Amino acid sequence: MGGIEHRYFTAEDGLKLHALVAGPRNAALPAICLPGISRTAEDFRELLEAFAGDAKHPRRAIALDSRGRGLSERDKNPANYSVPMEIKDLLRVLDEERIERAIFIGTSRGGILTMVLAAIRPQIIAGAVLNDIGPVLDMEGLLRIKGYVGKLPIPQNWGEAVTILKGVIGNQFPAFTDKYWLSYARRSWNETKKGFEPCCDPAISNALADIDPSKPPPPLWLQFDALAQAAPVLILRGENSDLLSRETVAEMKKRGRNISSVEIAGQGHAPALEGAETITPILNFVAERK
């Protein structure tokens, strides 16, 4: 099987993009994993290992660092941290990998990219997992995310890093253990000789600058309907999510016959893709896609 490998791609504008890749190329339908707005491909490491290591149906899986995140190059123009540009980058990677059909797993921003992709290239989507994201985004969650993305203080040690994270998302994740908080911190900052550095460009906060309680973002029902018509959809919702409401999930499930949902206890926005609570429903869903 081999382990997880690093792959690099070149975006249309020349910017370097990074991805984690695992599993055999010519196996089952590949899985494409897309992280949240300030998260990285590392959030999918356990899932990639599960896909690639499946004894009966090993699957190639690719987790992409969007521009400015993880090991992808940071953009000198913060305006490029946008959904249209990130869709271009995604299409570039898919074309370079010669992927004509795949299963998409999108956390938060990654789920938005998946819905938008369904509206422009529905034939490429064989199935989709939307991790705590839908066509309607609750303002409470948007404002909370706007309040910390790109604005977290720089910790002096890992204990302080955990304290910072608990301060901004602790009430969303009462189920997190100390071990997981440390794991989450290590996927949020890099420790270098110069000190701690965020894993994502702080300028990504510009993408949230226009969030205004008096002007809710337009819903993405047309994009979700395109996704629901293209392929089966699994919705993961964190029990404590303040971004994706139960009402929105219920409405999503009315829009197609092949839409299912799982609520993850003790977690909020967005459920961690580690452990049986989230990994098993995804593996079961994906196993049915041929």
Q: What is the pLDDT of residue 2?
A: 54
Q: What is the pLDDT of residue 130?
A: 98
172-200: pLDDT as tens digits: 999 899 999 999 999 999 999 889 999 99
Residue pair 243/138 in contact (Cβ under 8 Å)? The answer is yes
Band (1; pLDDT cuts 50, 70, 90):
very low
Q: How far apart are CA 153 and CA 114, in angstroms?
A: 31
What number of other Cβ atoms are within 10 A of residue 235's Cβ? 22
User: CA 30 → CA 24, 119, 199, 214, distances in Å?
Assistant: 9, 20, 26, 41
User: CA 168 → CA 72, 146, 161, 171, distances in Å?
Assistant: 25, 11, 11, 8
**Mean per-residue pLDDT for 40-53?**
94
264-274: pLDDT as tens digits: 999 999 999 98
Q: Is the CA virtual torsion 83, 46, 203, 164 positive or negative?
A: positive
Residues in the chain: 290
133-166: pLDDT as tens digits: 999 999 999 999 999 999 999 999 999 999 999 9
Domains of the chain as residue ranges with CATH: 5-139+218-287 (3.40.50.1820)
Q: How far apart are CA 234 and CA 258, in angstroms?
A: 8
